[in-house]
Amino acid sequence: MRRSVLKNLRGLLTPDPRKAWVVDRIPGAAVAVEDGRVAWIGTEAHLPAAWADAPVVDGGDAWVTPGFVDPHTHLLFGGDRSQEFNRRLHGVPYTQIAAEGGGIRETVRATRTATVAELVAAGEARLREMRDRGVVHIEAKTGYGLELEAESRLCEAYLELKAKGWSLDVTLLPAHDIPTEFAGDPEGYSRLVAEQWLPELVHRFPGLARYCDVFIETGVFTVEQGRRIFQAGKALGLQARVHADELSWTGGAELAAELGGASADHLMFCSEAGMKAMAASGVTPILLPTTTLFLGMRDWAPARKMIESGCRVALASDFNPGSSPCLDPLLVLRLGCLQLRMTFEEAYTAMTLHAAQSLGRPDLGHLHPGAEATVLLWDVKDPLEWVYWVGGTFRPRTLN
Ligand code: NIG
Ligand code: FE
């Protein structure tokens, strides 16, 4: 049994998994750790006698927190879209660029020509940057291959990243867009994905993916086509995460609830019925405010209404080359507070506890007993500074 006590902490900040939206702040805290798990938290003055002889780790007067969990990323892709971004700055809409064959399809071209080694190298650089900013676990999607072999190479790259020790959950997203080979035939493509590609990818990479996703949007896939793919996924043991109601209302949130999905994501145009359905069925709404910012949209997701409807809202980066080239969890937190009108405690819970819950990880996103002891140390007077010093750079220290 390996035991230690983390002492000399300015404070401890953690959501409480037993109470909705409650964030505990313990000044002068100590954390007792046994075999990599949190065994006890409280004030140093109240450390139980049983821990008196355990080896001490010095926290250096920092605030200790759990790591951030990012439950929606498109980690792996080739190329970038800085030129397209500049066209948007000159007034060309995102939807027009997509209609002209750019957008997601531009990244698909670059991803199809990338080798597995190139994808892994790019993925590691991005994961390192996220880790240095406090992210300890992510969800990561395929979806820039849009053909079986290219989607398969993305799975191979994720397998390699996991083997290198990166903590990530994989989501299959071959229905991220309609590939040029199937232009005008989303029906035929959605059948191919449901009937052949998902089973084949699961067969080639057993146990790799836990989820599947579909971009349900006007001009992309309909709710019916999404339902077909998600049902095929369910039969293969993949739970649904849905790109839903991002640019218009399509009923994606309602579909996620109907299917008992893990999450519905984006939701700028979510209906009130969709919010109620998600609350009732335990679907996590995952809001992606850096996407709203980067697309220059005015329609921020209705976080307050969702919270009032009883939803356990989570926040994520949506890291991708087109609508959110952002690896910074603190920008997501800041926009959660400043644009989605969440309190600091709500936005923080959304990026830790609720993000982890959407990925079925009760051991992440908090520091109550039983949690994984992947702790971060922050040299701040108070964690509120992350948002208050709005352009500030904050990097946590880790113990290993
Ligand atoms: O989550 N909405 C679909 N997918 C991405 C955008 C992808 C891209 O523009 O490359 C998103 O916003
Ligand atoms: Fe996305």
Asked if 114 and 31 sit in the same domain, the reply is no
Asked if 58 and 72 sit in the same domain, the reply is no
Asked if 89 and 170 sit in the same domain, the reply is yes
Residues 107, 79 contacting (CB under 8 angstroms): yes
Give the span between the Cα atoms of 180 and 105, in whole angstroms: 8
Task: Using the mean position of ligand 2's atoms as its centre, give its distance from the Cα of residue 140 in Å.
Answer: 10
In sequence order, which residues have a C-beta less than 8 Å from that of residue 367 and are 6 or more positions away? 12, 14, 31, 38, 41, 64, 65, 66, 373, 375
Asked if 75 and 59 sit in the same domain, the reply is no
Asked if 222 and 307 sit in the same domain, the reply is yes
Per the prediction, the chain carries an average pLDDT of 97
Which residue's CA is the nearest one to ligand 1's atom 1?
Answer: 318
Query: 140-157: per-residue pLDDT in tens?
Result: 999 999 999 999 999 999
Question: Atom of ligand 1 at shortest distance to CA of 265?
Answer: 1
Question: Atom of ligand 1 at shortest distance to CA of 291?
Answer: 12
Q: What is the dihedral of CA 195, 197, 202, 204, to 10 degrees?
A: 130
Residue 248 exposed, middle or buried by CB count within 10 Å (0-12, 13-18, 19+): exposed
CATH code of 80's domain: 3.20.20.140
Phi/psi for 5 (5° steps) reads: -125, 130
Q: Which helix (H) or strand (E) holds 16?
A: none
How many structural domains does the chain have? Answer: 2
Task: Using the mean position of ligand 2's atoms as its centre, give its distance from the Cα of residue 398 in Å.
Answer: 29
Task: Using the mean position of ligand 2's atoms as its centre, give its distance from the Cα of residue 119 in Å.
Answer: 18
Query: 373-393: per-residue pLDDT in tens?
Result: 999 999 999 999 999 999 999
In sequence order, which residues have a C-beta less than 8 Å from that of residue 376 and are 6 or more positions away? 64, 65, 66, 67, 134, 136, 396, 397, 398
Task: Using the mean position of ligand 2's atoms as its centre, give its distance from the Cα of residue 236 in Å.
Answer: 22
Query: 267-312: per-residue pLDDT in tens?
Result: 999 999 999 999 999 999 999 999 999 999 999 999 999 999 999 9
CATH code of 49's domain: 2.30.40.10
Q: Are strands 263-266 and 239-244 parallel, antiparallel or unpaired?
A: parallel
Asked if 47 and 106 sit in the same domain, the reply is no
Measured in whole angstroms, how far is the alpha carbon of residue 214 from the centre of its chain? 16
Q: Which residues form the domain of 344?
A: 68-358
Which residue's CA is the nearest one to ligand 1's atom 3?
Answer: 215
Question: Atom of ligand 1 at shortest distance to CA of 144?
Answer: 10
Asked if 14 and 159 sit in the same domain, the reply is no
In sequence order, which residues have a C-beta less than 8 Å from that of residue 17 and are 6 or more positions away? 353, 362, 365, 366, 368
Residues 157, 114 contacting (CB under 8 angstroms): no
Asked if 338 and 243 sit in the same domain, the reply is yes
Give the span between the Cα atoms of 350 and 333, in whole angstroms: 9
Neighbours of 99 (CB within 10 A): 11
Asked if 199 and 271 sit in the same domain, the reply is yes
Asked if 353 and 382 sit in the same domain, the reply is no
- Per-residue model confidence (pLDDT) at position 101: 87
Query: 97-113: per-residue pLDDT in tens?
Result: 988 889 999 999 999 99
- Per-residue model confidence (pLDDT) at position 400: 66
Asked if 380 and 313 sit in the same domain, the reply is no
Residues whose beta carbon lies within 6 Å of some atom of ligand 1: 103-104, 107, 215, 243, 246, 291, 318, 320-323
Residues 366, 37 contacting (CB under 8 angstroms): no
Give the CA diameter of the chain: 70
Asked if 141 and 255 sit in the same domain, the reply is yes
Ligand number, closest to the Cα atom of 81: 1
